[in-house]
A and B are shown apart, each in its own frame.
Chain A
Amino acid sequence: MLAFILRRLGTMVLTMFCLTMVVFFMINLEPNLRKLAISQLDMRSSDAHIESWLTKNGYRQNFFLRYGQWLGVVQKQPNIDPDTGKAVPRFSYCNEPAEPHYGGILQGDFGCSTKFKTTVASKLFPALGATGILMFWVMATMVPIALLIGILAGMREGTRTDRTLSVASIATTATPEYVSGIIFTVIFASWLGWLNGSAASATGQGITFYNFTLPVMTMAIYGIGYIARMTRASMVEVMTQQYIRTARLKGLSFSNVVIKHALRNALIAPFTVIMLQFPWLLTGVVIVETMFRYQGFGYTLVEAAQNNDIDLLLGCSLVSVLIVLMTQLISDIGYAYLNPRIRVQ
């Protein structure tokens, strides 16, 4: 087991290395660097001006050198002002030591956000916290509802309840966040006026039922159908097993059989699905936070991508890739742990 986890961790590190390299390459393409320079200077800057700004801030150095600096295995040189000969920080809002130093991800330094004019760490981690709260409520509503629907549909296959619930779950998987978000806003905010169509106030004034229900609902809906269908399939399979028939023949009541015998085994497959749902939720987070103006991770990612904020975007991609890979690992380990028949070789 330990060897398996170690090997998986090794693959994870390699994957993250490759992915950050790809992201680093993509955001350092010429058009993107120009976009960054223009957003930092102004719209009418001449080509020579842009070029000198890029050279001055070190964007024209060798690709691998800069990737190494970001990673923290190559020393960062201080930025020397040619007029005075003294070291000045590249961006006035981020501190930078005056002597050569190692300052990268490995040292815990995420760099400097050019869009929010602060360090990446001070922007990224509060945003992650805000998204964590959103995710918690989404999971807290989505998982129980989905499991309940799946179990109700799967315990008596082919009945009217099963068919109704199955079609309902198919319908929710056909409703992406940007569709359900609009429909819910129209119904609950514009028409009935019960809920707030924006979660912008949640950042400042705290989360209330009034401003937080719509984002949570919108995100939960898309995932419910998928998890419910997996639970149903797994429940249907378990209900045809011999030990269920034995328990029934022994004279146990139907509800007793479902709760005591079927449930535990039927929930192994959905567990994996729920864990693998996290990467999907990431896209959902971006859509929902943009739609309801909630200042979380997704909102930060969109702002970083639109302004080509290099360090912030790299930080965002590192975090999201880490989340995806960690959930995959946890789902594998958890699957082996929950299911005694599967032993990891």
Chain B
Amino acid sequence: MGIEYIGAFQVVLGVIARFWPVWLGLAIMLTLSFTFKKKLGLYGQLFDSGVGIAGVAICFFWLFTAIFASTIAPFDPLGQVAIMKDALPGAIEPASHKIYLFGGDKLARDVFSRMVFGSQIVLIIAPAATAFALMVGITLGLPAGYYGGRIDSVLSFLANLVLAFPVILLFYLLVTPGIMDTPIPYGLAGLFFLFPIIFFATLFWTRFKDRPDKLYLTLGLTLVLGFWVYAGLVFNADPLGIVSIEPNQLNIFVAVVFASSPGVFRIVRGLVMDIKTRDYVAAAQTRGESPWYIMLWEILPNARGPLIVDACLRIGYTTILLGTLGYFGLGLAPESPDWGTAIKDASRLLRSFIHPALPPTIALMSFVLGLNLLADALREQSMKD
């Protein structure tokens, strides 16, 4: 029994039609942003340049794709329909009469659905890992830059130690299946996930030390929420059973945070060393504020510009790192629909079929491009001030 195909033009139309929730979301989002441009501060200023609009649009495109993945994708990303093995783009699946818009891969799965669901994995892990790396980098970079001296020497030495590791070797050592039998990933996770709790606890403590009403509320919330998530992620022992993470995803997460936090550390340290010579820091010191208050409430807010730009670039870089991990078959399950794994599978068969390779590569490239454009526009805007 042969498979029927639809034409190239219909494939394009079909893809555009399937993305309808994304277009709707983008339209609402962009209309709202343009209408209230003046009131949105830095985000609103992004809409002054073409590069900024393109960056925001691409990032929101993938964000909405990840949110509405189950509506957009016509098939289950892991479901196999034997007859559709290596089907070309536009093949009609005989049973349901739905279309394999970008064809089928060597295991007869729908390439389009896998690309759409792949965005979910990337858009969860990359920003979250970047956020943790920022927390670790900021919490260690602030004292290193502010105090200098021995703290700085020790922390900088450790950061340079990690940075001297070629990333790929680090991943081969940290993300092999064998390592999940050892306590190392859990130990590292336990260490890294402490940093956000420490960060927010110090943040509220220094600010509300003399105002017990606010202190107890914010500090209590931080500790309860923090240790709830902590128990769920590190020990997989969330009492309510809501927060949980697969062991191999935890492993990837830890490896990515480990690889990118020294970079954040160096940037924060440099910024702090620059900002601590300013007058308002001297004023705060004269007022008798504690060092941590000055770091968190005087220096950090003034370092936010470069840090936001760096965070954008870093999410893109983390996406590339995740792709590298997938490309070498490290960490994620072999049938996982993430883009890196899909690229790996497809690149082995590039000589016979090229259609399974292109969607994930273009998806990954466009998402990173969107983030880089966004970072560039943000940098331009922050330079204008």
**Chain A residues in the interface with B (C-beta under 8 A):** 11, 14-15, 18-19, 23, 26-27, 29-32, 34-35, 166-167, 170-171, 173-176, 178-179, 181-183, 185-186, 190, 197, 279, 282-283, 286-287, 290-291, 298, 301-302, 305-306, 316-317, 320-321, 324-325, 328
Contacts and interface: CB of A to CB of B under 8 A. Distances in A.
Contact of B164 (A181, A185, A290, A324): A324
A331 to B, nearest CB: 13
B376 A301 contact: no
A190 B350 contact: yes
B165 A321 contact: yes
Interface residues of B, number: 46
B347 to A, nearest CB: 6
Contacts of A320: 166, 169
Given A170-B372, A176-B324, A179-B365, A30 B161 contact: no
A339 B17 CA distance: 58
A183 B169 contact: no
B373 interface: yes
Nearest to B164: A324
A23 B324 contact: no
Given A30-B181, A170-B372, A170-B373, A178 B323 contact: yes
Contacts, number: 127
A31 B178 contact: yes
Given A174-B316, A178-B323, A279 B182 contact: no
A18 B365 CA distance: 36
| Interface residues of A, dominant DSSP | helix
Nearest to B373: A170
Given A15-B161, A30-B182, A185-B350, A178 B167 contact: no
B160 interface: yes
Contacts of A19: 161, 164-165
B168 A301 contact: yes
Contacts of A291: 347
A186 B357 contact: yes
Interface string B326-370: 011000000000001001101100110010011001001100110
Given A178-B361, A317-B169, A324-B164, 12 more contacts: A29-B184, A31-B179, A167-B51, A170-B376, A178-B327, A179-B361, A287-B168, A301-B172, A305-B176, A316-B169, A317-B166, A328-B164
Contacts of A30: 181-182
A342 to B, nearest CB: 16
Contacts of B297: none
Given A174-B372, A178-B323, A283 B343 contact: no
B245 interface: no
A282 B365 contact: no
Contacts of A185: 350
Contacts of A305: 169, 172-173, 176
B381 to A, nearest CB: 15
Contacts of B178: 29, 31-32, 34-35
Contacts of B372: 170, 173-174
B320 interface: yes
Contact of A186 (B179, B316, B324, B358): B358
20 contacts: A18-B161, A19-B161, A29-B179, A30-B182, A170-B372, A176-B320, A176-B324, A178-B347, A179-B323, A181-B347, A182-B346, A182-B350, A186-B354, A186-B357, A282-B166, A283-B166, A283-B167, A287-B168, A301-B168, A302-B172
B361 A174 contact: no
Contacts of A317: 166, 169
